[in-house]
Structure 1
């Protein structure tokens, strides 16, 4: 894994002005996203959108590979060492926003935005599958790139 794409994902880069606060950075990351759910919040495991938001929050805000891995199954192919390295490689102050549109009961199209403190923006388009977890709630079973 390189950067923050969690899987092989298409990214585009645009340059913008450096945000002055966390709130401003989050607003800038969410700018232009259109989806059923647009969030940079903590999420939960009760819905498809909730578990996806929770994974991204663990990755970008908590910066914890352990927390992120609790939200995926081993079949997702995401393992600790590369995930932790990708999180560590993110510049401190990187913000994110995720647009999530369910397209089936357990599948969503995802538009993830990563905004670096220097203003560089990276957009990742993904298809994410989830399933019910044995302990209740939902977990991510697959993250794959979609379109460009």
Structure 2
């Protein structure tokens, strides 16, 4: 009996549950029972929608049109330019990094080569500085040969300055002081009057050859000499000769000589007695 005022009783009755159909033992569940397949065309309700003849088929070309529409949608995407720019900047950054790495590698290699070259140069420089330097020599200051005059170098110290020349050397014919030294060497060491006269000009103002020979003979054999030459004026010289005799006695006398150049060689054109 239903009460019309009962709200629960006004609801429609619940659908009855269909009793579960059981599959007989040994039967195929897909051909028997509630899950049995239904032949096409006989399936009830929504199952018939899935039948092959009811599924819509695309015509040829429709799929391509769909893909084009999708591409157009991507092209119209406002984020697409930002994505493209981000990728472009990332690629540019990678290229800059590669270029920088290459430059760093070349710079490092150059630095290594420079360091090796510097080390080699430093090694050779140090080796060269370890070699003792040769003592400088001055041709003008070197003592000239003194002939057979033992012990003369300690008594007659060789000096060669612009103002004074002191020596007992052989001299030469290329300079005024050299010519004077050679004349005195011919007198005391060679004891040759002809050699002495060969240093004079033909018009020389001096003693004769005979007087020269006699003066050489009067000089004791073995007498040592030391000549000091100082300039007075152009081609004029004060010549002081110190003698040391074999008996140990000494003497000194002075001459004034004038020199000139004849045929490319220096000759003595005048010899006069000096102040002492």
- TM-score bucket (shorter structure): 0.7 to 0.9
CA radius of gyration, larger in? 2
Of 110, 129, 140, which aligns to 2:258?
A: 129
Structure 2: distance between partners of 1:136 and 1:79: 25
Of 143, 150, 166, which aligns to 1:23?
A: 150
Structure 1: distance between partners of 2:223 and 2:153: 9
Q: Residue 76 of structure 1 contacts residue 140 of structure 1 at CA under 8 Å; is this kept in 2?
A: no
Question: How far 1:22 sits from its partner (Å)?
Answer: 2.7
Question: How far 1:26 sits from its partner (Å)?
Answer: 5.4
Structure 1: distance between partners of 2:274 and 2:183: 18
**Partner residue in 2 for 1:51:** 179
TM-score by length of 1: 0.75
Of 238, 246, 260, which aligns to 1:109?
A: 238
Count of aligned pairs? 125
Question: How far 1:59 sits from its partner (Å)?
Answer: 0.3
TM-score by length of 2: 0.42
**What is the DSSP-based 3-state SS (H/G/I as helix, E as strand, rest coil) of the residue aligned with 2:180?**
helix
Q: Residue 172 of structure 2 contacts residue 181 of structure 2 at CA under 8 Å; is this kept in 1?
A: yes
Structure 1: distance between partners of 2:267 and 2:183: 9
Structure 1: distance between partners of 2:200 and 2:220: 24
Question: How far 1:94 sits from its partner (Å)?
Answer: 0.6
CA shift digits 1:45-102 (9 cap, x unpaired): 1111111001000000111000000001242223211111111221111110100112
Structure with greater contact order relative to length (CA < 8 Å, sep ≥ 6): 1
**Partner residue in 2 for 1:42:** 170
Question: How far 1:25 sits from its partner (Å)?
Answer: 4.2
Give 4+ residue runs of structure 1 displaced > 6 Å after superposition: none
Structure 1: distance between partners of 2:192 and 2:207: 13
**What is the DSSP-based 3-state SS (H/G/I as helix, E as strand, rest coil) of the residue aligned with 1:75?**
strand
Question: How far 1:23 sits from its partner (Å)?
Answer: 2.6
Name structure 1 gaps, 5 residues minimum. 1-20
**What is the DSSP-based 3-state SS (H/G/I as helix, E as strand, rest coil) of the residue aligned with 1:22?**
coil
Higher helix share: 2
CA RMSD of aligned residues (A): 2.1
